[in-house]
Structure 1
Amino acid sequence: MTEENVFPDILKNHMAPKNKLGYLVVRKGELNYVWEDEEDKVYTVDSNHPLVIYPERYHRVILTGAVEFKVEFYRYDDEIIVDKTALRPGENFIK
């Protein structure tokens, strides 16, 4: 996608589906990205800094100029976690 043919819904508040991760990759230029639950933090995504989009978390893309980018989606199954009761230090820092 580019700034000229971007899907309009990407620029609105939306979320990735359950059990799918998005991977935002910028080929040329840069754009901004905001998690709706952290509106005071704006992430700049460029060719050196892709971004993982977590499922079921509201977000939006903000175009800042000429850009070429894509979003890849990857399905994962949370049932593959062998021991859901295992100790996972730092887990409470993850939102």
Structure 2
Amino acid sequence: MSRGPAGSVLLPDGSRPYKRTPVFTESTVPAALRADHSTKAGVWGLLQVNAGSLTYVVAETGEETVLDAGASAVIRPQERHRVVIDGPVEFFVEFHRVGGG
């Protein structure tokens, strides 16, 4: 797994998007995304903030990253995480797999 600036995680080489959530706002974000959850084995996520800001929390480490409009975070397969919303925001998650499919 490669890392980008400031230790940020990058999507693995050869990953391809295959699914995307709707754009969520502070009013429409599902409760499940505010609670600890994870992707399936082999599934990476790309959390993209379009407007406002949110906090991305990795449950195992407690690491918190504030993501402002235009920022993104990579979600590792099976890594428990959640989002914290405390104001206006628009965001979506794009799901990736390595290789075909």
Give the fraction of aligned pairs with identical amino acids, expressed as a percent: 34
| TM-score, normalised by the number of residues in structure 2 | 0.71
Shift of 1:9: 0.3
The aligned residue for residue 34 of structure 1 is 57
Structure 1: tracts of 5 or more residues without a match: 78-95
3-state SS of paired residue (1:64): coil
Q: Distance in 2 between matches of 1:50 and 1:26?
A: 6
3-state SS of paired residue (2:87): strand
TM superposition outliers: structure 1 runs of 4+ over 2 Å: none
Q: Number of matched residues?
A: 76
Q: Is the 8 A contact 2:43 2:77 kept in 1?
A: yes
Deviations 1:40-66 (A, max 9, x none): x21011223210000111111100210
Shift of 1:17: 1.0
Q: Distance in 2 between matches of 1:23 and 1:64?
A: 20
The aligned residue for residue 84 of structure 1 is none
RMSD: 1.1
The aligned residue for residue 39 of structure 2 is 16
Say whether 1:43 aligns with 2:75. Answer: no
Say whether 1:6 aligns with 2:34. Answer: no
Structure 2: tracts of 5 or more residues without a match: 1-23
Q: 1:65 pairs with 84, 87, 100, which one?
A: 87
